[in-house]
Amino acid sequence: MAMQDFSRSLPMRLYRALAVVMPRFRRIFAKAGLTEQQWRVLRVLWEQPSVPQSALVELTLIPAPSLIGVLDRLTVAGLVERRRGTDDRRVVEVAATAAGRALEERLMPDVQATYAELRASLDESTWRALETGLDELIRAQRPREGAAAAQARARHSTGEDIA
């Protein structure tokens, strides 16, 4: 069962795809003094008046511990605001400030143009096959419902650490 070349494994292809695609976008973000993660947060906040922090984790794919720092810096820059939820005081609601929202008009044109170029670099059928393949992969591998709970339960039941 000859193992294929490591560089041709699916994960490495995914990493390489991002490595060739993202630098052009980051150059755009950098013009506004934003990192890629800061951009992602703003990009999501532009679509809604306010978003619970836990939802931001899912929508931006920024891990919770990292998001803390990203929001800290965005807050210091005056681009976002945090508020404690009124009914449930555990949740933190995040919203873009006026300055944060102003960046949308400044950045989206270039980003859209670059995205259009990206899309135009593949023919329509290949592009769609790529999107479909990614979606199916995500759906197939996405942790089953209740997996986390089941795992937590298991952790409490038996020994767990089999060195």
Residue 127 partner contact from a copy of itself, DNA, none using kind-dependent CB cut-offs of 5 to 8 Å: a copy of itself
Question: Which run of H or E residues covers position 144?
Answer: none
Q: Identify which of residues 10 and 76 has a Cβ nearer to a copy of itself in the complex.
A: 10
Residue 154 found at the interface with a copy of itself (CB under 8 A): no
Q: Residue 45, CB half-sphere, CA atoms under 13 Å: how many?
A: 28
- Residue 74: how many other CB atoms lie within 10 Å: 24
What Cα–Cα distance (Å) separates residue 130 from each residue in 133, 143, 151? 5, 22, 32
Phi-psi region of 80 (alpha: psi -120 to 50; beta: other; left: phi over 0): beta
Counting residues that bind a copy of itself (by CB under 8 A) gives 49
In whole angstroms, the minimum distance from the beta carbon of 140 to a copy of itself comes to: 4
Question: Which x/- pattern, by CB under 8 A, does the window 16-35 give for a copy of itself?
Answer: xxxxxxx--x----------
* Minimal distance, residue 15 CB to DNA, in Å: 8
Number of neighbours of residue 82 by Cβ within 10 angstroms: 14
The contact set with a copy of itself (CB under 8 A) reads: 1, 3, 6-22, 25, 40, 43-44, 47, 59, 61, 108, 112, 115, 118-119, 121-122, 126-127, 129-138, 140-143
